[in-house]
Structure 1
């Protein structure tokens, strides 16, 4: 045979003549193909956060799967999980480079360990009990401009193989597309060209926060109202109430507030908040102080109006605490007096324009007893508080209010305004402004299934400050 003559084609007898079709029955392959089809569909972010870990657990045969999202400059927050308590969502947080998962994101490479607790970068979270699953694998989820999250899977005993690492890395790439489409807004992405139109009408955005009271809620955004404490001479002349009526309304407001505070105090005992709820007793004492009542009524009888009278009482308490005694306890008590005076003013007000819309999502920088006495009467369906809500009382007040609530919401007031529709997902710690039709349908479907309490997005049937004429 010459050098120019091509060799004859080879026909190995051990190769099948017809192509092989992989029918269903291979559990791992079936799971991967189903995962590909699942991630190809548009879906709400929370569906991805819940469903992707569940499917990965089945595909890899692991005990735990945690899905982290990159938020802010360098923070990893657990937003999806199978294997740990639901209370871990939104609470487990790592810096990029911290822990095995954070290190995988920093290096942009998978990290594997058969005894995670002995790894130099291991970070322990009290109460999570992840030491039960020491076999650990973390892979970064890569986006167009860097990491967008991470997946961490854990087993009790069987080490992960190289094919496991390769497969999980590919599954992470599929999840990446879903995360990008969710339009998660945080401090890092706020510097982009994304803008909103003032007065509502913003496109859909998702703001991350920290869940405190679990559940889901859907409603229009509104901010708590506060009373106007100064009335001009013109407005005084246009008042629709007489001095005698003001005095009577203020007396009724005192009675309603005292009854509501006593009920809140009893409720706090019922949910076992212990010493953390002791501040409610201060409000009971203030309302039981006859000098406080007499002074407020006396100033009201001078004809200045209820808001101005209560404002003068609050300023007097603040001035005494700040300039005469400088006692920390009295300074805090003065703030409580001011809060209570605002509540009394609103309880006595006859101006319907000051009332909140019912079943709304309340947004603000904090929560106080004022809101339990006043805002709760409108039966809000959810609460979202900004990063300024740092008071140690916040958690207790939110638990007493008893509706789905998230705090530490970055960019809350930049992206929301009165009238915008908001979905509060206090299971994952997310606030979706102008949610999609599918997200709204998911909430309504859960409600129609007979769910009750915060998980269905329903507000309590009555607020703690409810009184005559409140319904």
Structure 2
């Protein structure tokens, strides 16, 4: 096919990629600009324009264009029925003209510079017979567009319609939020409550997704007070015993349901509740008080308060965390004592938006088992481990500092757009319809997964491996559904974070073995424990660190605690027996000495297992290059390790000294920085001569602008959020390696970030 032939099949694929990767943050007009450029290129048309229908004025407004006077964007307006464009929308049909001026509805627009274009094709964009806009193409050649072009543009109009409509709907929510912003920013002393009507406040995104439901505040003192006011006074010890039996059944049922959702992190999340319930020092003391004449609810309440006060004063952080457990247990007992016929499995949060001032990882697991639709966490602080867990469970989570939310009446309607950090209080019918449409659009994206292919190839036939990043066993279903070719990063820390004590070697072994069995021979790279920074273990006391990200974290933590590290390594070596797909990699390695120390410990574990007669296998041992120091030592590390994995998120952060979670400096976090490009190249070129496998894990692996560069410097394996795999697969299929190599060399020649960005915009257009 010559360069001048139209490629409508590729056009529809590329527009599909744009739709799949549409980012609301970048804005609709930016998306439409890319769309017209893509259409014009593949159809070899001189002009492509997209007009959107404005329901307030009834006008068609030019929003994006390639080939006409750019000054007309936003200014050119047509009525429905005006010109060929307006007529296409009025009649809801394509209009194709060999010579546009022959059509009686042709309208020349002064200043548009369209006089030299003869052929004209206009296709309406509609959604369920509702007008959305019109897409047009023009060319100086007579009779340039044919039936194939009409069909292709119809498909494209259909693809664009959903994105445009949903973007409009989301803008409606955001505009409402902007109108309320001044109210939301008032000090709590003067605006402690929300007034009547709809209120929109913006929080911090933590776990994406959308949810609608009624508010429920989890504040145990409020729940105890409510139960206390409604509890009958004529209860007996037999009623207490019945409440204990009901509560135990609830807890065991919740544990079972939770283990069905999450196998590796769910182990005995409710175990502390059950043990305390059976403990005579707790339940027996309550019985003694009842026999001494106390009402059962008073006896429960007093004993719960006693334990909560005792735990809260403990210097041991693990015991302090038990305050929430004992309060939760007390709430269940009081609930079951006062309303045994309504006990069921305890709190049913199905369809509820939960508001809480404190949220532990174990709390998220409990709420997942209890059916919560969304979470609002009140207060500041670092919550990345909570966010990742909420994401793994697919529960929308927003963090807000607006304390007026504490004053919301129970069962207040709330819309949660967690991706935007948006909370809508008392939404009107329009906002509810908006959210319903957006939720349906999320469901549409699930269909993209069905299009995933077994293997990934570039346009020139080069094989590329796409792997998945996972946090929990429960996410394996997603990875398998999108046909991930393995697990490029399995984060092993979450079973540690969500518990109140270290998981045993046996528990870790069972979790790792389950992953390997499910992946059926596909590679699985287990990253050893990466705690510290913002991922603290509540049961492991550490000294205060002014900068925990530069403190005792990741491999440093493991080497400082060899007995903990050895338990994990033994579990991994045991799971690797009979599983050649198992690999182990060490995080945040700063030196060859650190890697060799970790490797020596793994070899010690292998010798111990052999002497104990326990089946095991020493898998390949690799490391993550996430620090500038490791990048400088890439040749030595590549020679010593079995494989390398570039952790680009941390590497960019440490290389540029930018905390990407800090809004004050986040703008300086950029993969386009020349130092980043050269460092990535240096690492890859150090690894390739050794023949050692090297992969990249991080956000840039899903960036359409960065993928050609990464392929151009020699990377062939990428690991990413599994939901991104289908779209990335489509992007890679359009890339030619030789062209990517040329593009990479050009990008490496620049000394300024601005030059890189300008070059990429030229390539994209």
Report the TM-score range of the alignment, normalised by the length of the smaller protein: 0.3 to 0.5
Question: Whose RCO is larger (CA < 8 A, sep 6+)?
Answer: 1
TM-score (norm 2): 0.30
Larger helix fraction of residues: 2
